[in-house]
Amino acid sequence: MNYETVLTTCTYCGCGCGLLLEVLDGEVVGTLPQKDHVINEGGACIKGWNAHEFIYHEGRLKHPLIRKDNSFKEASWEEALEVVVTCLKKIKEENGPDSIAGLTSARCTNEENYVFQKWMRAVIGTNNVDHCARL
């Protein structure tokens, strides 16, 4: 028998509410807003209260998918990245860096988001970067 609550930060928007994930026998079974968090002080919105639900959602992507003949096929990371590199290079060469935009995610850490915008600017060469949490 094992039950603990794990401190984490909500991944839904830019507020950064402190959450506790309830873990019962290795399975995430619920979310509680963290009482002593400076941002949310024990409250959360409806998304935060249900932040654990996507974890086991059947629609969750667990592998890269590549579109072939109008349907998605499971692929390895090597194959997937190869497609991304080839396509981005081609678009950049043909239409210039500003024909590419990057949209990053609140599900990543601050550091990952930093690296992403840096990569868009320094490698791709565009300022077209945004983030899904800019609500």
Task: Look up residue 46 and give its two tokens.
Answer: 């409806």
Residues 5-34 close enough to bind another protein by CB under 8 A? 5, 7, 20, 22, 24-25, 29-30, 32-34
Q: Are 30 and 45 in contact (CB under 8 A)?
A: no
* CB-nearer residue toward another protein: 12 or 104: 12
Residue 75's CB is within 10 A of a number of other CB atoms, namely: 17
Q: How many residues bind another protein (CB under 8 A)?
A: 25
d(CA 93, CA 101): 15
- The residue from 13, 28, 49, 83 that contacts another protein (CB under 8 A) is 49
**Smallest distance from the beta carbon of 129 to another protein, in angstroms?**
30
Q: Are 46 and 38 in contact (CB under 8 A)?
A: no
* CB-nearer residue toward another protein: 22 or 91: 22
The half-sphere exposure of 61 on its side-chain side, counting CA atoms within 13 A, is: 8
Task: Look up residue 8 and give its two tokens.
Answer: 């984490």
* CB-nearer residue toward another protein: 25 or 69: 25
Who contacts 16 (Cβ-Cβ below 8 Å, separation ≥6)? 9, 10, 39
**Smallest distance from the beta carbon of 16 to another protein, in angstroms?**
14
- Interface residues with another protein (CB under 8 A) are 1-5, 7, 20, 22, 24-25, 29-30, 32-36, 40, 42-46, 48-49
